[in-house]
Chains A and B, each alone.
Chain A
C-alpha cells in the first residue's frame, strides 16, 4: 500500500489521477479504516488530505460558510455561529457515531463514502450546499445532489478530490432541520433520514427544499415534497400532502434494516416532523 500526504489539493488530484489500483482519500478515516480492518476494502493507494493548509477551517465566505474537507463533526458542533444559522446541518453531522467518531468524521467523507443512508447528506442537500471539486482541469463548484451516484459510488471522476463544502447565505426567516429514524437511540444507521430547509414570508412558506436518505439507491432531493408546502402555512393539509409526496418519492429495498412498507411510511412521518421543526426555527408560530 502506498501512503501519500500531499501539501495541496492539486497534488492530491495529481497523485490520484496517476494511481493504479484501489484509491482512497483519507479524511477522518472512519469509513476507510473500518473497511480496511474489516477486510472489505484494502486500498493500494491512500491519499491523506489532512496535511493540506486550511482543511480544518470553518470560515465565512460571501455571507455563507466554507467548511474545509477535514473539519470534524465535533468542530462543527462547537462552532456556535454555524449552528445558529444551519442547525439542521450541524445536528445531522452530530448524529454520526460516538464521541470518538465525532473527533474524526467529516462531511466530505460522509458524502464521498456514497452511502444512501449517510446522515449529513440530506441535510446538506436541503440546505442547498455545494462542494469544490479539484481536478486536472482546475476547480469547479458542484451542488451536493450531483455527487452521489448509487450505493458506494459518486460522480467524481478518477483524479478528482473535494476541497471544501459551501453553505449558502442563510438570510432571514429561515430554518432547517434533520431527523433520522433508527431503532435505537444512537450508534445506528438511518433506516430513513429527512432534511428540510425553508424560508418564510410571514406565516407562509416561501422557499423549501426537502431531501430523503435511505429510501432509494442514493439520497434524494424531492421537489414534489417541497412544492407541497411552498405557499402554505404548514397546516394539516400541507403536512399531509408533504408526507404523501415524501412517501411517493421512496424507492427503497426490503432488507434487514426495514421493509419497503415501513420505510415508505416513516419517510412521510419524518418529513412532517422535520418540516415542523424547520418552520419553528424560521420563526413561524405553531
Chain B
C-alpha cells in the first residue's frame, strides 16, 4: 500500500462490523448525557418564554421573582453582549429577545435558583407586559402584500425590488432555455406543493451545565453537535474570550441537525456569571418544540416537460421557504438539490427565504432537500403515470453521471446514482406483487455532503495501544469508524484503540458534526494522523537500525526494512517501538489539521409500498427499501442504521408530523402526544442495499451517508400513497383527514 494513496479494496478492518465502543455505556446507563452533569453549589435555571406570536415587550418586572427564597440570579437581554452584528446578533436575538417577542416560545428572561422547583416558581413571578402585534405563520401569507412585517431591513441585496420585506434572501440558478424545452415536450405537468415544518425529534432535550467566573474564565458541559461552535458563539454572546471558555460535549441523544445551534448555553453562562455559581439548564419537551429548530415549511411550484419516450426536456421550480423570525431558511439548498439527480439541458430554479412568526428554523438532515425531492419526484411520477412509462427506466434515462453539468452548476465527478437505480431495478421488492389497496412509489434523492475544518490527534501509549482524539461529536457511530480506519492504517487490532471526542482545549477548531462530514473529514484526518504516526514509528526503527528512514516500510503493524538492500532486521512491532519511545525521542503522536474539500456528493433511490384505508384515510407503510451510495461503508451496520433512520424520519414527516399553529399564532402541539413521530409499530422492517462507488476525495472512498437517506422518503411515500389512493397528494403531512378530504374532493369533483 502506498502510504499516501487511496485504497478501495484489500481491507482487513474496514467493512467489518465490530462492537460499538459506546454500547456498554449506553445499555448500562453509564453514558453521561447533557442533563447528567452536576457540580457543587449548582443552581437550576428556568426560562420565561413569550406566550405571544408577535409582541412588543413593554416592561419586564423581575422584583417578585428576585425576592423569592432560593433565587440567586435573573437575567434579561441587558445581561448579554451589546453591539453584536451579523449572525451573532441573530443568535443572541433568538437566545434572548430584545424589544420584541418574535414567536410563541421566544425567551424573554431567565432565572436561576437553588432548586428546579424554586426556579420554575420564580419564572412564573416574572411579570412581562406585552403590546400585541399582528402575526403571520404561513409562508405564502407572509409574502402577501398585507402581511405584517417581522423586521424591516432584514433583507439582503439578493432580493429583487418590490418584494415584501419578509422576503429576506433570493436565489436563482440554472442553465439552458426552459421555454424552448417545454415546447419540445409531449407532456408538461405543472403542480403546486406544500410541506409543513417538522421537528428533528431527538429524544434528548437540550441541556447544559455552565460556569462563568468574574475573571471571564468559563466551563460548559452540554449536548451539542459542535462544541467548538458553542465555544465561539457563547464567547461572543456573553462577551468573553474564546479560549477562556472550555466546552466539553456530552454523549448526545440525537441531533439530526437540531443540535448544531446554540440556545441555552449563553443563558446558563449569563446566569452563572451573575450568581457566581454553576448553573444547570435543561429544556422541557415543550420548550424543545416551541423554541428549537424545526425545519422550514415550504410552498413550491414545479413544472416539468417530458417526451413520450421519457426524456425530460425542461424543468423549473419555485421554492418558498419559511424559516421563522430570522433569515436562514435553506432555500438555496432546496433549489440546488431539486433537479440534481437529472442531466438536464434546460433547468431553472428560484428560491425565496421568508420570515414569519415562528421559531428560527434549524438544520434537519439534508436541510431543504427532502421537500424539493417531494415536489419534483411527485411530478415525475405523475408524468410516468400519464405517459405509461416505467419510473425506474425514466429516471435511468435522465440520470446524472460523471461529467454531467449539475442543475446547480458544477460538473459531477464520479457519482453513483445510476448504480443505485440499477440496484433498485434488480431488487425483488420492485417486482413483488401488490395487494388490494396498496400502491408503490419510487424516488431518487441527492445531497451535497461537506468537508469542513478538522483536527485529529492520535497518541501512542507505552503498551502499544492508541488514543484518538477527535473534535466532532459522535452522532452516528463515528468513534467505531475512526477506530477501524486507524486500525487499518496502523495494522493493530480495533480493540487496541479508543476514540474520544475531546474538549475545545485539546484540539484545533473542528467544525460541527453536520453535512454528513464526520466519517469523511474526521475519517480522512484520522487516516492522515495515523500515517503521520507511522512515519514517526518508521523513523524510530530507522534510527535503531541505523538506516535511512526511506528504507523502512510499515506492514502488518510492524516496521520492516523496505527490501534486501535496506539490510536484514527483525520486524519491529508497534508495541515494541512504543515501549521504548521515551528513550528514543519522546512521545509519538500523529496529527492532521486541514479543511478537506473532496466530500463526494451522494444519491439514493427508495422503493416504498403503502396501503391506504379509503374509509378512514389511514396509511400503513408495508414495505420499504433504501438503496444508497455510501462510497465505502466503513462500518456497514452503522451505514444501514443511517439509511433506516432517514427512512423512519421520512415516514413521520410524510404521514403525520407537523407544526400546528392556531389562529392566535401559538403552537398547538408542543409534545409527542400531538406531534406524531412514528412509533416502532408504525414501521416495517426497512431493507437496505449499500452501493459503493468510491469517492475520489477520500483515501478509502467514503461519502457521507447521514443525510441523503432522508431526501427520497417524502416523495417515495407520497408516490406510493397517491398510487394506492388513486389521487395525487400535494401537501404534507398526508394525515388521515387530508387523505380522506382528497378522496372526497375527487369523488365529488
Contact = CB atoms under 8 A, between A and B. Distances in A.
Contacts of B735: 183
A186 interface: yes
B565 interface: no
B633 to A, nearest CB: 32
Interface residues of B, number: 23
A262 B740 contact: yes
Contacts of A255: 668
Interface stretch (B32-40, B446-454, B530-538, B676-684): B676-684
Given A259-B737, A265-B740, A185 B681 contact: yes
Contacts of A188: 673, 676
Contacts of A181: 616, 618, 736
A186 B620 CA distance: 13
A266 B616 contact: yes
B114 interface: no
Interface string A20-57: 00000000000000000001000000000000000000
Contact of B656 (A184, A258, A259, A261): A184
A257 interface: yes
B242 interface: no
A6 B678 CA distance: 42
B727 interface: no
Interface string B717-738: 0000000000000000001110
Nearest to A260: B737
B679 A186 contact: yes
A183 B617 CA distance: 9
B679 A187 contact: yes
A183 B736 contact: yes
A189 B682 contact: no
B618 A256 contact: no
A255 B673 CA distance: 14
Contacts of B678: 184
A39 B120 contact: yes
A266 B668 CA distance: 23
What size tier do the contact residues of chain A reach? 20 to 34
Contacts of B674: 189, 256-257
A192 to B, nearest CB: 9
B566 interface: no
Interface in A226-277: 255-259, 261-262, 265-266, 269
A186 B737 contact: no
- Tell me whether chain A's interface is mostly helix, strand or loop, or mixed: loop
A189 B620 CA distance: 18
B64 interface: no
A181 B615 CA distance: 11
A258 B679 contact: no
B669 interface: yes
Nearest to A266: B616
B660 interface: yes
Interface string B652-677: 00011000100000001100011010
B740 A183 contact: no
Nearest to B652: A184
Contacts of A266: 615-616, 736, 740
Contacts of B740: 262, 265-266
A186 B735 CA distance: 15
A157 B655 CA distance: 43
B738 to A, nearest CB: 9
A143 B371 CA distance: 52
Nearest to A191: B736
Nearest to B617: A262
A187 B741 CA distance: 25
A264 to B, nearest CB: 11
Contacts of B673: 188-189
Interface in B10-24: none
A256 B669 contact: yes
A258 B615 CA distance: 15
Nearest to B669: A256
Nearest to B673: A189
A256 B616 contact: no
A258 B737 contact: yes
A185 to B, nearest CB: 4
Contacts of B618: 181, 183
Interface in B342-400: none
Contacts of B120: 39
Interface string A175-200: 00000010111111101000000000
Contacts of B682: 184-185
Nearest to B667: A256
Contacts of B668: 255-256
Contacts of B616: 181, 266, 269
Interface in A155-189: 181, 183-189
Contact of B676 (A184, A259, A265): A184
B679 A185 contact: yes
29 contacts: A39-B120, A181-B616, A181-B618, A183-B676, A183-B735, A184-B676, A184-B679, A184-B682, A185-B620, A185-B681, A185-B682, A186-B679, A186-B681, A191-B736, A256-B660, A256-B668, A256-B669, A257-B674, A258-B736, A259-B737, A259-B741, A261-B737, A261-B741, A262-B617, A262-B736, A265-B740, A266-B615, A266-B740, A269-B615
Interface of A: 39, 181, 183-189, 191, 255-259, 261-262, 265-266, 269
Interface of B: 120, 615-618, 620, 655-656, 660, 668-669, 673-674, 676, 678-679, 681-682, 735-737, 740-741
Cβ-closest 6 pairs across A and B = A262-B737, A185-B681, A256-B668, A269-B615, A256-B660, A183-B656
